[in-house]
Amino acid sequence: MSDLQGYLRSDGRKGIRNVIAVAYLVECAHHVARKIVTASDDLDVHLIGFPGCYPNEYSFRMMKALCTHPNVGGVLLVSLGCESFDRDGLLEAVRESGRPAELLVIQEAGGTRSTIQKGTDAVALLKQESTAKTVPMRIDELVVGTICGGSDGTSGITANPAVGKCFDRLIENDASCLFEETGELIGCETIMSERAITPELGAEIRSAVEKAERYYRIMGFGSFAPGNADGGLTTLEEKSMGAYSKSGSSPISGLLKPGDVPPGGGLYLLDVVPDGEPRFGFPNISDNAEIVELIACGCHIILFTTGRGSVVGSAISPVIKVCANPDTYERLSEDMDVNAGRILSGTPLEEVGDEIYQLTLECAAGQRTLSEELGHQEFILTYKSFEPIGPACLPAAAMAR
């Protein structure tokens, strides 16, 4: 099954979509950027952006990773004019990647109405100029991320292990698979570190989870929403054990931080908790903050498991919704790509895992997911700070050096 076609980018990566990203560089340019996207009325024109006015290395790195993501074919930057964001640096980086890119500065372009008009014209032109050729794409060129949101007591026995089965199959085919949110893996550090391909990586994984626990304790709240308890989950470690099963049973090949692209096929843990003393608040204020970070690592597709029933999608990369709870599926079936809740009435886990795997390949081949069709393009990016990963985090890459 390799009828996949990808948009070939200058860095050798291939995209499964050819999105035009309209990016506001401060909240003050958000409205104008949104109006441009709305006026474009195109499922492949997406709104992204960063709200802050202060400089931040992480947010620049993330915006650059997103604007040069393989699913992105062209970029329009929308600046107010006085914010700190390095707009010229980003414009240059996108152009260097071979993508068409334009910058509009509202203070120079004549205000709201004029910038919306110019921006809408620019997007139409970017669509024409975004002519990356399509080439055959292999499964081992796919990067797939997973996240759970609105988990309940069924998540850990249906949707999450079914995604784990799909991950195992993708990794057998040498695809790259990412799981994340160390704050929702608290309690799993011992079994997880034992799956690392080297003891040094195991130690890095353990310390990443310990960092998460420390961070959340200072924040005063664990990553556990009231809806989790409504759905039968009682403790953070119970939620963690269920979330952990999304990772499947492959060895863990590396530990990444947001914006790090996996160096080859295998299973990777993404550490999303900032380094150093807590400065900017909660590590991930909602599910889409984690999805954006997975996408910044190059994820083409996100497998999103939910028990209570999340409806979100994402800008840039399609989201496949895997519903854990059969009752939720009945209520929200128009939002759910997969009904994993039927595992509770006897459908084998493997069968649902296969279905997710097939759907992942169909999505990569261009088929739209339900959240894509519904126009879900949620996006959120806030302040953070990270130290680069150490050499023990990617043992295979370190050995190849």
Note whether 266 and 250 are within 8 A (CB): yes
Q: How far apart are CA 377 and CA 43, in angstroms?
A: 9
- Residue 20 near residue 76 (C-beta atoms within 8 A): yes
Min dist. Cβ of residue 170 to other proteins (A): 16
Task: Evaluate the CA torsion angle 283, 70, 146, 268 in order and state its sign.
Answer: negative
Nearer CB in complex with other proteins: 266/298: 266
Residue 310 C-beta: closest distance to other proteins, Å: 16
Exposure string of 182-215, with b = 16+ CB inside 10 Å and e = fewer, is bbbbbbbbeebbebbbbeebbebbbebbebbbeb
Give least dist CB 324 to other proteins, A.
8
28 close to 156: Cβ distance less than 8 angstroms: no
- Residue closer to other proteins by CB (options 220, 375) is 220
The nearer residue to other proteins, 24 or 216, going by C-beta atoms, is: 216
By C-beta, is 9 or 195 nearer to other proteins? 195
Minimal distance, residue 153 CB to other proteins, in Å: 3
Q: What's the rounded Cα separation, in Å, for the pair 28 and 51?
A: 8
Q: In angstroms, what is the minimal distance from the CB of 189 to other proteins?
A: 11
Rounded to the nearest angstrom, the gap between the alpha carbon of residue 127 and the centroid of all alpha carbons in its chain is 24
> CA-based angle 25:296:16, to the nearest 5?
110
CB of 249 to other proteins, least distance (A): 5
Cα separation, 54 vs 366, in Å, equals 38
The three-class DSSP label of residue 79 is strand
3-state SS of the chain: helix, strand, coil percent to 5?
Answer: 45, 15, 40
- What's the closest the beta carbon of residue 62 comes to other proteins, in angstroms? 27
Question: How far apart, in whole angstroms, are the C-alpha atoms of residue 15 and residue 9?
Answer: 7
Residue 349 or 365 having the CB closest to other proteins: 349
Nearer to other proteins, 132 or 236 (CB): 236
* Cα gap 94→11, rounded to integer Å: 12
Cβ proximity to other proteins: between 229 and 374 the closer is 229
Separation of CA 250 from chain center: 21
Given the complex with other proteins, which of 228 and 382 has the nearer CB atom?
A: 228
Would you say 231 or 395 has its CB closer to other proteins? 231
Measured from the Cβ of residue 366, the count of other Cβ atoms closer than 10 Å reads 12
Residues that bind other proteins (CB under 8 A): 152-157, 161, 164, 186-188, 191, 195, 213, 216-217, 220-222, 224, 226, 228-229, 231-238, 241-242, 244-245, 249, 307, 325-327, 343-350
Closest alpha carbon to 266 in 118, 388, 142, 98 = 142
Decide whether 113 or 217 has the Cβ nearer to other proteins. Answer: 217
> Nearest distance from residue 243's CB to other proteins, in Å?
11
Tokens read off for 101: 């890119």
Distance CA 269, CA 393 (A): 10
Minimal distance in Å, beta carbon 380 to other proteins?
21
Please say which residue, 228 or 339, places its beta carbon nearer to other proteins: 228
The candidate with the shortest Cα–Cα distance to 139, out of 347, 317, 358, 312, is 358
Q: How far is the CB of 248 from other proteins (least distance, A)?
A: 8
Contact criterion met (CB below 8 Å) for 304 and 363? no
Shortest distance, position 342 Cβ to other proteins, whole Å = 10
Q: What six digits make up the tokens of 204?
A: 């890095």
